[in-house]
Chains A and B, each alone.
Chain A
Amino acid sequence: MRILMSALLVCLLFTAVTFISMEHYEQQEPVLSQYIIRHFQEDARTDNAVTAVLLNYRMYDTMFEVLILLTAIIGMKQFLPGPKDLQQLKEQNGDAHEQR
């Protein structure tokens, strides 16, 4: 029952979203991408437009993306202790911690 209701809801949502996107077809003039495609070579002195966007036009995004990645790795290290942390735990608690 729960699975059937979920499937129905998902199908309804899919139909609604695709129907709305079919009825409202609009295309805007891609001003920003036209500008970047025309000017990236003299703006960033690179041959790769993706690198120009990533490291020149949108530098803040890349900086904070690397910060987010490092934050995720630090959180992972918090949840999964490595060999050093387990050695410290062993020295502190003796063998009492080794078995449940």
Chain B
Amino acid sequence: MPMNSGNSFSHDLPEQSLILEVVIGFLYPFMLLLGFFIILNGHHSPGGGFQGGSVLAALFIARYIVFPVHDINSDTMHILQRIFLALILLTPMLLLFTGFIHQNPEFRSWYLLLMNILIGLQVGLELGVAVLRFAFFEGVGKTWHL
């Protein structure tokens, strides 16, 4: 199992069990598929951005359970979150509030699909960052006098 992460904060978790690793490795693509299914079918069936985003956040937890190293670049995720937030605020402003979508109603389902994808990715990234922060601080940060 590759444990070298590049940063100097090693983790003192015990070695993970093989059963957990194999089962999560088997379920990982299905979780990804389920999350994107819920997001992309949000305008045809029950589902949507928030629900699918929560499923996508479970991917981060599964990955952390199998490889308990902190090599995910949190800064990149934070920049991505800001970009997604700007897009979420800009898309309705440009499409809905200017009246573009009222004149061309054939773009309405594309607008809903785009907003669902943006919201889903945003919620997934945010919940994943929150969970990883908690895990890191629980393991490493408590040895620091802050």
Contacts and interface: CB of A to CB of B under 8 A. Distances in A.
Contact of A73 (B8, B43, B129): B129
A80 B141 contact: yes
Given A47-B45, A55-B116, A63-B89, A100 B145 contact: yes
Interface residues on A, range: 20 to 34
Given A45-B105, A76-B133, A82 B46 contact: no
B60 to A, nearest CB: 13
B144 A59 contact: no
B23 to A, nearest CB: 28
19 contacts: A45-B108, A46-B109, A46-B112, A47-B43, A47-B45, A48-B43, A51-B43, A55-B116, A70-B126, A77-B133, A80-B136, A81-B141, A82-B136, A83-B7, A86-B9, A86-B140, A87-B7, A89-B144, A100-B145
Interface string B58-98: 00000000000010001100100110010011001000100
Interface string A59-100: 100110011011001001100111110110100000001111
A82 to B, nearest CB: 5
Interface string A10-23: 00000000000000
Given A55-B115, A83-B9, A83-B70, A48 B47 contact: yes
B30 interface: no
Given A63-B89, A76-B133, A70 B48 contact: no
B146 A81 contact: yes
A7 interface: no
B40 to A, nearest CB: 12
Contacts of A70: 81-82, 85, 122, 126
Contacts of B112: 44-46, 51, 55-56
Given A70-B82, A83-B74, 4 more contacts: A46-B44, A47-B44, A51-B116, A67-B85
A99 B145 CA distance: 7
